[in-house]
Structure 1
Amino acid sequence: MSLIKEIKYSLHVAVRPFDGYWDLKYENKGRLRVALLVLLGVTVTMILKRQYAGYVVNDNYPLSLNSINELKYIILPFLLWCISNWSLTTLMDGEGKFRDILIATGYAMLPLILINIPNILLSNVITLRESSFYYLFDSIGVIWFVWLLFIGTKTVHQYSVIKTISTMLLTLVVMGIVIFLGLLFFSLIQQIISFVYTLYQEITLRK
């Protein structure tokens, strides 16, 4: 299957998720490169949105934005979700492999691109009174993404509806725990480095 056909199939997944995710899982139609391409597309459109959305809806100061710094708000949560979901579902009899979770999550993010691009253009021509349409389309994109993520998680792991919902909520909890432990770890490392440096200074001064 060519890359163009694979990208077209990702649109099919977005419109007909039940059939699409089933084929991704059991007909091997899912491609990791397409999922990563969607992730790249979301990253680019999010950066464009922060920089070029109309002033009516844009609270950011474009000249102060760091595009590289913006990556942590998209790529890190994506990876953290996939790792946390894989870790959790391994203990909950989930059938999905880590690659399956990456693909399912990546394909689920496609609506964010489909909504962001026209929304950026719309934001530059609307007035303050019409800004509600911008936020409405933004909400539709997020709901569409969550819906696809739900179906993808359910299909990949072959869970019931209740178990899928509980797994997604627990995944968010695991993400929070990982972030907390990560911050704790870096704080501890920083304190150790500071202690070693202070000790080194004292030894040097005594000489």
Structure 2
Amino acid sequence: MWSKEVLKYPIYVILHPFNGYWELKFERNNRLNLLISIITLILLALTNILHNQYSGFVINIYNEKDMNSIMEIAYVVIPVLFWCIANWSLTTLLDGKGRFVEIFNSTCFALIPLVLLHFPWIWLSNVISIEEATFYYFTTSFAICWFVYLMFIGNMTVHQFTPAKTILTMALTIVAMGFMAFLCLLFFSLIQQMISFVSVIYQEITMRS
């Protein structure tokens, strides 16, 4: 199952995105693609935790004592899920050809440069000077640009859209993600208020009885 071909395929996708995403949609084993996607997401979450915990003080702006590993995982997983849900919901209305699992796979494969380029800096950042931090910021910017480019190619291929329609869809997806985040915050705020209200009533009843 884990042949050299399988291990090399994610690299092939990010280096040859047009052919790679085409194979990802039409020619590859969906279960295997999903497994690679989940592993990539886990690796990105792990990289995020290690970066905040072990990066050198030159580039690390976080206080490791305040770090919450669960929240660091959520900061990676939730935006990916929000993107996939929002993108699938919109493209269903816009005659997109991609299924939810294909959107998830294409999104996770696009995350690979963030893992490959950020992971070495966890250790390199401990031996660089302030002047050399420029290379870190350049690498980070390059990884983000590469990620956005792969997202664009992946969306265009998965949904069989034109470039202009792909850009429009991605912009609308970001707006939809913001709307989803607002609804989630509103929901949790209402739940918190309900719990507080029930707690106050319980305390009043307890004190009077």
Task: Give TM-score scaled by structure 1 length.
Answer: 0.93
- SS of residue in 2 equivalent to 1:74: helix
Deviation at 1:122, TM superposition (A): 2.5
Equivalent residue for 2:182? 180
CA distance in 1, matches of 2:63, 2:203: 42
1:68 to 67, 70, 76: 70
Deviation at 1:190, TM superposition (A): 1.8
CA distance in 2, matches of 1:164, 1:145: 15
The aligned amino acid for 1:18 is F
CA distance in 2, matches of 1:171, 1:156: 15
Q: CA RMSD in A?
A: 1.6
Equivalent residue for 2:194? 192
Judge conservation of contact 1:119–1:137 (CA < 8 Å) in 2: no
2:149 to 147, 150, 164: 147
| Pairing 1:27-176 to 2, within 5 Å after superposition | 27-29=27-29, 31-176=33-178
Equivalent residue for 1:25? 25
Q: What is the total number of aligned residue pairs between the two structures?
A: 207
1:9 and 2:13 aligned: no
Deviation at 1:56, TM superposition (A): 0.8
- SS of residue in 1 equivalent to 2:70: helix
CA distance in 1, matches of 2:149, 2:112: 12
Task: Give TM-score scaled by structure 2 length.
Answer: 0.92
- Identity, in percent, stands at 50
> Bigger shift: 126-135 or 23-32?
23-32
Deviation at 1:161, TM superposition (A): 0.6
Judge conservation of contact 1:53–1:124 (CA < 8 Å) in 2: yes
Gaps in structure 2 of 5+ consecutive residues: none
Quickly say closer, same or farther: Cα 1:195–1:24, change in 2 above 3 A: same
Deviation at 1:69, TM superposition (A): 2.1
CA distance in 1, matches of 2:160, 2:190: 40
Deviation at 1:88, TM superposition (A): 1.1
CA distance in 2, matches of 1:126, 1:204: 61
- SS of residue in 1 equivalent to 2:131: helix
Deviation at 1:47, TM superposition (A): 1.1
CA distance in 1, matches of 2:139, 2:96: 33
CA distance in 1, matches of 2:202, 2:50: 47
Deviation at 1:126, TM superposition (A): 1.4
Deviation at 1:132, TM superposition (A): 0.8
Deviations 1:35-67 (A, max 9, x none): 011111111111111111111111112233222
Deviations 1:67-98 (A, max 9, x none): 22211110111111111111111111110000
Quickly say closer, same or farther: Cα 1:166–1:198, change in 2 above 3 A: same
- SS of residue in 2 equivalent to 1:190: helix
Quickly say closer, same or farther: Cα 1:102–1:3, change in 2 above 3 A: farther
Deviation at 1:29, TM superposition (A): 4.6
